[in-house]
């Protein structure tokens, strides 16, 4: 109850800092700052889709030559020599346990040589309802692989007995929406969420003005908590303002802030900066050893 002010202090200790909150904007938006320690969280739009076709036929005939479809079963768990295997296992580890995923979850990936090119699997399940998502390696995008692997995952969900298959995405994610519509999903509703992460999953998801607005928001937040300057640097990089992106990283270095190596090396926001000597010098001083 957002009107129960006495509960705010307790909620601040319970809600994780980087939680992704789905709450009623009308009741909670004005008081989230009292009930949640995340000072940079903002409201953004999302969409929910539901699968409406009776089946997802024909996907096997569309697997490109040189690729193979692999089910995400116990045998797959041991194939850690495949590139992107860890990405999928991290997703599976969001379940209660790997055994729980094997018992109730399904998923499919497309393997090209020694690399997983695309994968689609369940986020969660309850009774005969489930939600799925998809990722395509950036080197394999715009080849129809996302739609193909989603069709395979839907087929597996139906075979497992799931009757309602859902799909959720950011309203800014035109690519995800297109895949959903191509594979038999229909839009069920719009809704709002709260998070401090950029509401973008690809560089083109937001306009330059939107990236700039987020960058300024993160900079204001960093005046209170230094670490938000890292997200400001991501947003400035996406806005095309290299100087301000590097300046934010420089402010973190001056403050003695440290981050994980993967935040720099596997961060698509920094793709345009990665070959710059100044970025690499800052990275060297900011990465935890």
Q: What is the pLDDT of residue 2?
A: 60
Alpha helices in 105-207 (DSSP H): 145-159, 174-182
Strand partners, 185: 51
Report the SS3 class of residue 55.
Answer: coil
Q: What share of residues in the chain are helix, strand, coil (percent, to 5)?
A: 45, 20, 35
Alpha-carbon span 64 to 121, nearest angstrom: 20
Q: What is the pLDDT of residue 216?
A: 98
Q: What is the pLDDT of residue 108?
A: 97
pTM of the entire structure? 0.85
Half-sphere exposure of 43 (CA within 13 A, CB side): 13
Strand order in the sheet with 129-136: 67-71, 107-112, 115-126, 129-136, 164-170, 42-51, 185-195
Cβ atoms within 10 Å, residue 233: 30
The model's pLDDT over 1-27, given as tens digits with 9 standing for 90+, comes to 566 767 888 888 998 988 999 887 677
Sites in the chain below the pLDDT cut of 70: 1-3, 5, 25, 54-57
Alpha-carbon span 78 to 75, nearest angstrom: 6
CA-based nearest residue to 152, from 59, 75, 70: 59
Q: What is the pLDDT of residue 57?
A: 66
Q: What is the pLDDT of residue 6?
A: 74
CA 283, 265, 194 angle in degrees (round to 5)? Answer: 95
Those residues with Cβ within 8 angstroms of residue 39's Cβ, 6 or more apart along the chain or in another chain:
33, 221, 224, 225, 228
Tell me how far the alpha carbon of residue 286 is from its chain's centroid.
24
């Amino acid at each position: 109850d957002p009107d129960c002010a006495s509960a705010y202090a307790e909620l601040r200790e319970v809600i994780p800092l980087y939680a992704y909150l789905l709450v009623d904007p009308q009741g909670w938006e004005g008081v989230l700052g009292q009930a949640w320690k995340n000072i940079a969280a903002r409201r953004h739009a999302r969409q929910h889709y539901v699968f409406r076709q009776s089946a997802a036929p024909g996907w096997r005939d569309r697997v490109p030559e040189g690729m193979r479809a692999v089910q995400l079963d116990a045998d797959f768990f041991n194939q850690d020599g495949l590139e992107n295997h860890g990405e999928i296992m991290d997703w599976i580890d969001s379940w209660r346990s790997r055994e729980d995923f094997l018992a109730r979850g399904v998923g499919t990936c497309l393997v090209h040589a020694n690399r997983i090119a695309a994968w689609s699997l369940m986020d969660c399940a309850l009774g005969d309802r489930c939600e799925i998502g998809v990722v395509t390696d950036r080197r394999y995008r715009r080849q129809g692989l996302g739609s193909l692997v989603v069709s395979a995952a839907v087929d597996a969900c139906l075979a497992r007995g799931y009757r309602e298959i859902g799909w959720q995405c950011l309203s800014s994610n035109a690519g995800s929406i297109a895949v959903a519509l191509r594979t038999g999903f229909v839009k069920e509703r719009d809704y709002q969420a709260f998070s401090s992460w950029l509401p973008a999953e690809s560089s083109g998801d937001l306009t330059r003005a939107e990236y700039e607005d987020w960058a300024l928001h993160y900079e204001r937040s960093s005046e209170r908590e230094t670490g938000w300057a890292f997200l400001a640097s991501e947003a400035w990089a996406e806005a095309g303002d290299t100087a301000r992106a590097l300046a934010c990283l420089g402010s973190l270095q001056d403050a003695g802030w440290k981050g994980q190596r993967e935040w720099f090396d596997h961060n698509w926001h920094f793709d345009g900066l990665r070959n710059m000597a100044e970025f690499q010098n800052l990275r060297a001083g900011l990465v935890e050893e």
